[in-house]
């Protein structure tokens, strides 16, 4: 009987630990879209829907909302129409708004000295390689982490600001990795 109780307690503890681990590794869901306008403390976002027309959603912010604009701390006043935004949580008052300006978007081919070579998609044409000039003032971010030009690797998606001339900022995301079909949410 004592052994049975011990096994039952071990099973409950193991189950609780697995649930806690699953919650810790699950990224919070967010609302992804394009900023239409700032209306007071509210954000009007255009959100794409699977197999439907895009819809506009209004999201409230408050004095506790954290703003990250082009990978650096920002404020509500820094947000401009047509910025890509990620808002968390997906519903209710936003606790965090991450916004990214429109810029030259592409995929890293290579870093060549002080130049970044990226492949840019073109509408109705093959992708083309573009050389982006940088200088000592160019800021590089991977996610929201300050980095260096040499930290950029092939296949990283980047946004270069501004679209022309010497880059002031390069905002990068690590290449997406596909999960095996056997994992939850994996490729099918």
Q: What is the pLDDT of residues 62-104, one digit of tens each?
A: 999 999 999 999 999 999 999 999 999 988 999 999 999 999 9
The residues spanned by each domain of the chain are 31-100, 104-173
**pLDDT computed for residue 24 by the predictor:** 45
SS (H, E, C) the chain: CHHHHHHHHHHHHHHHHHHHHHHHHCCCCCEEEEEEEEECCEEEEEEEECCEEEEEEEEECCCCCEEEECCEEECHHHCCCCCEEEEECCCCCCCEEEEECCCEEEEEEEEECCEEEEEEEECCEEEEEEEEECCCCCEEEECCEEECHHHCCCCCEEEEECCCCCCCEEEEECCCCCCCCCCCCCCC
CATH topology of domain 104-173: OB fold (Dihydrolipoamide Acetyltransferase, E2P) (2.40.50)
pTM, two decimals, is 0.71
Using 50, 70 and 90 to split pLDDT, how confident is the model at 23?
Answer: very low
> Topology of domain 31-100, per CATH?
OB fold (Dihydrolipoamide Acetyltransferase, E2P) (2.40.50)
Q: How confident is the model at residue 59 (pLDDT cuts 50, 70, 90)?
A: very high
Confidence at 29, pLDDT banded by 50, 70, 90: confident
Same fold, 31-100 and 104-173: yes
């Amino acid at each position: 009987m004592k052994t049975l109780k011990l096994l039952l307690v071990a099973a409950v503890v193991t189950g609780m630990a697995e649930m806690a681990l699953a919650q810790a590794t699950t990224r919070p869901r967010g609302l992804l879209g394009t900023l239409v306008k700032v209306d007071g403390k509210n954000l009007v976002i255009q959100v794409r829907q699977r197999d439907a027309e895009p819809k506009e959603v209004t999201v409230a912010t408050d004095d506790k909302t954290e703003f990250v604009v082009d990978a650096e701390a920002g404020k509500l006043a820094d947000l401009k129409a047509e910025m890509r935004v990620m808002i968390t949580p997906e519903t209710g008052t936003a606790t965090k708004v991450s916004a990214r300006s429109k810029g030259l978007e592409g995929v890293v081919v290579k870093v060549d000295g002080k130049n970044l070579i990226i492949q840019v998609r073109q509408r109705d044409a093959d992708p083309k390689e573009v050389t982006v000039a940088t200088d000592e003032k160019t800021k590089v971010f991977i996610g929201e982490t300050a980095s260096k030009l040499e930290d950029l690797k092939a296949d990283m998606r980047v946004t270069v600001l501004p679209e022309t001339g010497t880059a002031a900022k390069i905002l990068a995301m690590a290449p997406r990795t596909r999960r095996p079909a056997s994992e939850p949410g994996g490729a099918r």
